[in-house]
Amino acid sequence: MPRDSHGHLTPGRISPLRPVPPTIDRPEYVGKVGPAPYTEGDVFDEATIELIAESSRIASDAITAVGEAIRPGITTDELDRVAHDYVVSHGAYPSTLGYRGFPKSVCTSINEVICHGIPDDTVLVDGDIVNIDITAFTNGVHGDTNRTFVVGTGSQDAVDLVERTRLALDRGIKAVAPGRQVNVIGRAIEMYAKRFGYGVVKDYTGHGVGRAFHSGLIIPHYDAPQFDDVMEVGMVFTIEPMLTLGETSADIWADDWTVTTRDKSLTAQFEHTLVVTERGARILTDY
């Protein structure tokens, strides 16, 4: 089991790429070093928003399927198989598969892993927390979401962190309104997290999503006045706060993907894709 003598995670064995039926459309970046530059903007018409909602529902339902499989003794590679099979069986492409070389259909981030954990032969044990991040691509658009689960019976600190991170996402969503700058979202999240002494990760943010996996629009999870894009009706983006029990400084593994807290403290994350409406926000990845 890939953990060191202190119980901290170490890289495991990654299984071969899972196949996707040739009848399923691929995002343009598959087979390339990276995605093409995106210049189309983040505001969409109603028809496109409904397509993004369809991709978002597939991603959300795939996480529900993975959540039902989570238990002590299962590997993250097996969770990847559950997610992969669900997404492709619904006619969609798992957006992370082949994105900038990422080798799997889901990100599985355990305990001290902030984000972008690669599924491998790591075995989940009782008390772990694991974030499942899935994006689905169909009809030319992406829908992106993640949730953190407690494996078996977690410590009170772990359970509280997971629940409060979910509530921090809710606070961010409630701050969404046309005419406001996106930095109000981060301010609401950080104010809530500070009530409990949690760290708020700043190096990874929410983003515009739709025709592009990541459009270039940045949605901060902390008070960041420099991000002053104004929300508009029809604008689509993710909010995905990452909170820690300790420091927010991070290390990146040699795989160039897996990001961990430097002090190995627990970290949790939740994410929704949403669209700005005249009255606030419509969550497209609701569950």
Please tell me the predicted confidence (pLDDT) of residue 1.
52
Neighbours of 177 (CB within 10 A): 16
pLDDT digits (tens, 9 = 90+) for 105-134: 999 999 999 999 999 999 999 999 999 999
- In this prediction the pTM is 0.97
pLDDT 10s digits, 85-102: 999 999 999 999 999 999
**What per-residue confidence (pLDDT) applies to 135?**
98
Look at residues 106, 158, 166 and name the one whose alpha carbon lies nearest to residue 128: 158
CA distances from 209 to 33, 55, 95, 277, 284 (A): 19, 11, 12, 16, 11
Report d(CA 247, CA 21) in Å as an integer: 43
- Residue 165 one-letter amino acid: T
